[in-house]
Copies of this chain bind each other. A is one copy, B any other.
């Protein structure tokens, strides 16, 4: 039965009918796919096994438990997001407003492309929050935003606290991403162009520290 449901990809990955060859990665891949299809709550380890064409006991040769797979996916997510942010700002111009805007756009794009992983990273999965490996990766991810704001402040003589500005940008962009993927905008502003809103708001948030009060 499992032979019949085996996809070409699986066959390539397998070295033989018995040993999978790369089950660890295959399971993470299957989990990511199911996560994005069914959402965090609809995801089960058993499904991931079925998808990978392997018995439900097999994962325990590679992972402590179900949470360890989610942990790995979450850490990968923070690394992916971080890479996307850096790539975006590097291309659009570090220390410039377009660079900051590009980071905001990249954040939202990531949330759209990897909705389930995004929810895992920032949503309420209490077990994951406590794992040092996960939260330190997340911290590093945010650190890159601060660096960029600092660079912007230096170059443009903005006097506000870069950390505070970074938190404001993050807050806005995270709100946009959340309301978008949770489909809350749809009720109220169906055709909203979130990326344009970010383009419009970012420069204001960046320079406001100057003219505030």
On A, residues with C-beta under 8 Å from B are: 39-41, 119, 122-124, 126, 129, 135, 138-139, 142, 163-164, 167-168, 170-176, 178-179, 181-185, 187-189, 192, 197, 200-201, 203-205, 208, 211-212
| Residues of chain B contacted by A183 (CB below 8 angstroms) | 129
In the assembled complex, the Cα of A181 lies from the Cα of B189 at a distance in Å of: 25
| Residues of chain B contacted by A163 (CB below 8 angstroms) | 189
| Residues of chain B contacted by A135 (CB below 8 angstroms) | 187
Q: Choose from B124, B204, B211 the contact partner of A39 (Cβ within 8 Å).
A: B124
* Contact status A188-B142, CB under 8 Å: yes
* Contact status B122-A182, CB under 8 Å: yes
| Residues of chain B contacted by A39 (CB below 8 angstroms) | 124, 126
- Distance of A22 from chain B, by nearest CB (Å): 31
* Contact status B201-A205, CB under 8 Å: yes
In the assembled complex, the Cα of A184 lies from the Cα of B126 at a distance in Å of: 11
Of all A-B residue pairs in the complex, the 5 with the closest CB atoms, nearest first, are A175-B175, A171-B175, A204-B208, A174-B175, A142-B188
- Distance of A65 from chain B, by nearest CB (Å): 17
In the assembled complex, the Cα of A138 lies from the Cα of B184 at a distance in Å of: 9
* Contact status A192-B167, CB under 8 Å: yes
A-B contact pairs, 23 of them (CB 8 A): A39-B124, A39-B126, A40-B124, A122-B184, A123-B182, A124-B181, A129-B183, A138-B188, A142-B188, A163-B189, A164-B197, A167-B188, A167-B189, A167-B192, A168-B172, A171-B175, A171-B197, A173-B175, A178-B178, A201-B208, A204-B205, A204-B208, A204-B211
